[in-house]
Chains A and B, each alone.
Chain A
Amino acid sequence: MSIARHWRERTVRYRLEGQRHRHTGEVRFPVRPPALDEDPNDWEPYQLSGLGEIYSFSVIRQAPAGFASLGIYPVALVRLAEGPLVTAQLTDCDEADLAIGMPVEMVTRRLMDTGEDGVLVYGYKFRPCLR
């Protein structure tokens, strides 16, 4: 993935910045362009709390290219406190301790192998709640 593409996603990946609808209060994450029948002015940037709970999870033992350095690693669908589901890796946990419904919080971690361009790619992961 190119350097510009990582840079472009920085508010989403480092700050967990989503969007909130000014009238309905609906929260969207990650950000995306307005649908054709939506008014672009109705969506404002919105910082998520980073708190949520595990909706489901899996532990990957056959990593795709670019993730070999992670070895065996857990991934999850996390239901954020503000409503949206998000796909992310889990960290700082043992597989045996994971369960659907477990409270988790966002942390910033290195996400993948260092590629040919030498960029260290950081982003959100979730870990069992310390708060």
Chain B
Amino acid sequence: MTNVYIIGMGATPVGEHYQRSLADLASEAARAALASAPGIAPHQIGALYVGSAFSEELYGQSQLGAYLAGVLGLASSVPAFRIEAAGASGGLAIYQAVQAVQNGLPLALVIGVEKVTDQLEDAIEAAQAMASDSNEEAFHGVTLTAQWAMLMRRYMHEYGYSADAFAPFPINAHANGAKNPLALYRFAIDAARYRKAAMVASPLNLLDCSTLADGAAALLIASEQLAREFTGPRIRVAGSAVATDQPALHRRRNPLDLNAARASAHIALGRAHLGVGDVHVWELTDPHGIAATLALEAIGCYEPGTAPRHAAEGAIAPTGKTPIATAGGYKARGDVGGASGVYQVIEIARQLSHTAGATQVAHARVGLAQSLGGIGATAVSHVLLRES
């Protein structure tokens, strides 16, 4: 098996792109990725992997592999795939591309794309709820946000926290997102504003809930032989892993334990011959503070019941022990559905290239991006390593 590298990347701003189609967004991201890899021509792309969660339900387009291969003008002999695992779709598309390159493909293009704002809020809520067990959860009117909210309330009950204890997560996300030109929300918030925000699904309020928005991100995943043609620091995908859990929260032994998040992170780190303590920067699925909390604790960064305390002490800031959401996270960069996993890996690659600007984590050499589908029913982790 060959080593696998990221040699190009590009993304559109996350936003309400009313004037632009799914094809427009995917095309812009793919062109930007190619432009970032001088010397690489479109005809070298050996396979296309598209991650998207909602293209059927919210955009009315299936078969995105063939659809986008056509838009991009790839030769008809290039295999093209669409990968779906709700919010983990982009992470899973990268996983598939990495597998292909490990097994001899010189170059793969990954596109994560989501176009949701043609639909109203109620349709978006219903589409997101499909990632749960539709018969046993969505059928009862339970939304993904309400499920995270129930986990938050249970966590508060078991460990004695108030809702305010989760404020450091969106405050950190917004502080970082304010410095990211591609972020959906480029403004800072503070604890006073957090306390006053209206409820969405109690105890989750508006400033602790991400917004689903449009966007596309693309990566060029290449073999070692191709990557050697580039100068500068090389970013290697040192380990990747996928794990699953029951989509239905009520089927889990302990709903506060994101079992698949732990398994995928540990298997990916094991494949990279690294441990949790070796990671300098993290990208997590963090639409709410409780989501980041449960992931950090499942992965083993912190003991159960302690992550909000560490966050309040600065541990999740770019200067902290476990920096997260350095580009704004799901809360401020925006939740881009199935494209989120690709945005996450791009942010880790920027951090390891030391081109992350105002939110750069000093001397970052190892990063882990984890994307979850539903409440961690699918968990995909990618460990990236800077080779100098």
Evaluate contact between A87 and B121: CB separation under 8 angstroms: no
Evaluate contact between A57 and B150: CB separation under 8 angstroms: yes
Evaluate contact between A62 and B201: CB separation under 8 angstroms: yes
Contact of A111 among B121, B135, B136, B140 (CB under 8 A): B140
Chain B residues whose C-beta falls within 8 Å of the C-beta of A81 in the assembled complex = none
A65 to B121, CA, bound (A): 8
Chain B residues whose C-beta falls within 8 Å of the C-beta of A50 in the assembled complex = none
Closest to B122 in A: A65
Evaluate contact between A58 and B141: CB separation under 8 angstroms: no
Chain B residues whose C-beta falls within 8 Å of the C-beta of A73 in the assembled complex = 141
24 A-B pairs whose Cβ atoms sit less than 8 Å apart in the complex: A1-B139, A55-B150, A56-B153, A57-B153, A58-B149, A58-B204, A59-B199, A60-B201, A61-B200, A62-B145, A62-B200, A64-B138, A64-B143, A65-B122, A65-B126, A66-B126, A66-B141, A75-B140, A75-B141, A86-B250, A87-B136, A111-B139, A111-B141, A123-B140
Contact of B141 among A30, A56, A60, A100 (CB under 8 A): A60
Q: A59-B202, A62-B143 are in contact. Are A87 and B135 (CB under 8 A)?
A: no
Q: Which of A76-131 contact B (CB under 8 A)?
A: 76-77, 84-89, 95, 100, 111-112, 123
List B residues at the A interface (Cβ < 8 Å).
Answer: 121-123, 125-126, 129, 135-143, 145-147, 149-151, 153-154, 157, 198-204, 248-251, 255
Interface size, A (range): 20 to 34
Q: A58-B204, A64-B141 are in contact. Are A87 and B248 (CB under 8 A)?
A: yes
Give, as a whole number of angstroms, the nearest-CB distance from A21 to chain B: 15
List A residues at the B interface (Cβ < 8 Å).
Answer: 1, 9, 30, 55-68, 70, 73, 75-77, 84-89, 95, 100, 111-112, 123
A59 to B137, CA, bound (A): 15
A111 to B138, CA, bound (A): 11
Evaluate contact between A87 and B151: CB separation under 8 angstroms: no
Contact of B140 among A84, A87, A95 (CB under 8 A): A87
A112 to B140, CA, bound (A): 8
A8 to B154, CA, bound (A): 33
A95 to B201, CA, bound (A): 12
Chain B residues whose C-beta falls within 8 Å of the C-beta of A70 in the assembled complex = 141
Chain B residues whose C-beta falls within 8 Å of the C-beta of A56 in the assembled complex = 150-151, 153-154, 157
Chain B residues whose C-beta falls within 8 Å of the C-beta of A95 in the assembled complex = 202
A30 to B137, CA, bound (A): 11
